[in-house]
Amino acid sequence: MAKLDARRAAAALADPSPWRCVLLHGDDPGLVRERAEALVKAVIGGPDPFRLAEIPRDAAAKDQALLAAEMAALALTGGRRVVLLREATDALAPAVKAALAAPGDALLVIEAGELPARGRLRALLEAAAEAAVIPCYRERGAELAATLRGMLAEAGVSAEPDALEELASRLGEDRLLLRREVEKLALYVGAGGRVTAEDVLACVGDGSALDLEEALMAATAGEVALADRALEAAMAEGGSAVGVLRAALRHVQRLHLAASGVAPEALRPPVFFRHKPAFERALRLWPAPALAAAATALREAEMRAKSGSAARPMPDAALAKAAVLALARQAAVRRRG
CATH number for the domain that contains residue 113: 3.40.50.300
Say if residues 86 and 57 touch (Cβ distance below 8 Å): yes
Per-residue model confidence as pLDDT tens digits over 35-75: 999 999 999 987 788 899 999 889 999 998 999 999 999 98
Residues 188 and 245 in one domain: no
Select from 117, 135, 153 the last residue of a domain: 135
Residue ending a domain, choose from 76, 100, 135: 135
pLDDT of residue 309: 47
Residues 187 and 247 in one domain: no
253-283 b/e with 16+ CB inside 10 Å = b? bbbbbbbeeeeeeeeeeebeeebeebbebbb
Query: Is residue 150 domain-shared with residue 131, that is, in the same domain?
Result: no
pLDDT, residue 245, reads: 87
218 and 292, same domain (yes or no) = yes
- pTM of the model as a whole: 0.57
Question: Do the beta carbons of residue 217 and residue 275 sit within 8 Å?
Answer: yes
In this structure, the answer to whether residues 130 and 170 fall within a common structural domain is: no
Are 286 and 253 found together in one domain?
yes
Would residue 190 count as lying in a domain? Answer: yes
Same domain assignment for residues 184 and 237: no
User: Domain count of the chain?
Assistant: 3
Are residues 298 and 233 both part of a single domain? Answer: yes
Question: Which residue range forms the structural domain that includes residue 163?
Answer: 141-203
Strand ranges, E, within the chain? 21-25, 52-55, 82-88, 107-112, 131-135, 158-159, 194-195
The answer to whether residues 174 and 118 belong to one domain is: no
Q: Give CA separation, 335 vs 219, 271, 331, in Å.
A: 12, 22, 6
Question: What CA–CA distance (Å, rounded) separates 179 from 189?
Answer: 16
| Of the candidates 213, 203, 274, 277, the residue with the CA atom closest to the CA atom of residue 247 | 213
- Single out the residue in 203, 220, 252 at which a domain terminates: 203
Does residue 1 form part of some domain? no
Task: Write down the pLDDT at residue 311.
Answer: 45
Strands 82-88 and 52-55: parallel
Is the Cβ–Cβ distance between 14 and 100 less than 8 Å? no
Per-residue pLDDT of the chain (337 residues), as tens digits, is 467 877 788 888 999 999 999 999 988 888 898 899 999 999 998 778 889 999 988 999 999 899 999 999 998 888 999 999 999 999 999 999 999 999 999 999 999 988 988 899 999 999 999 999 999 987 777 788 888 899 999 999 999 988 888 787 666 666 776 787 888 888 888 889 999 888 887 777 554 555 678 888 889 999 888 888 878 877 776 667 787 888 899 899 999 999 998 887 777 666 766 678 888 899 999 999 999 999 999 998 888 877 654 444 557 788 888 999 999 999 999 888 6
Res 314: pLDDT:
55
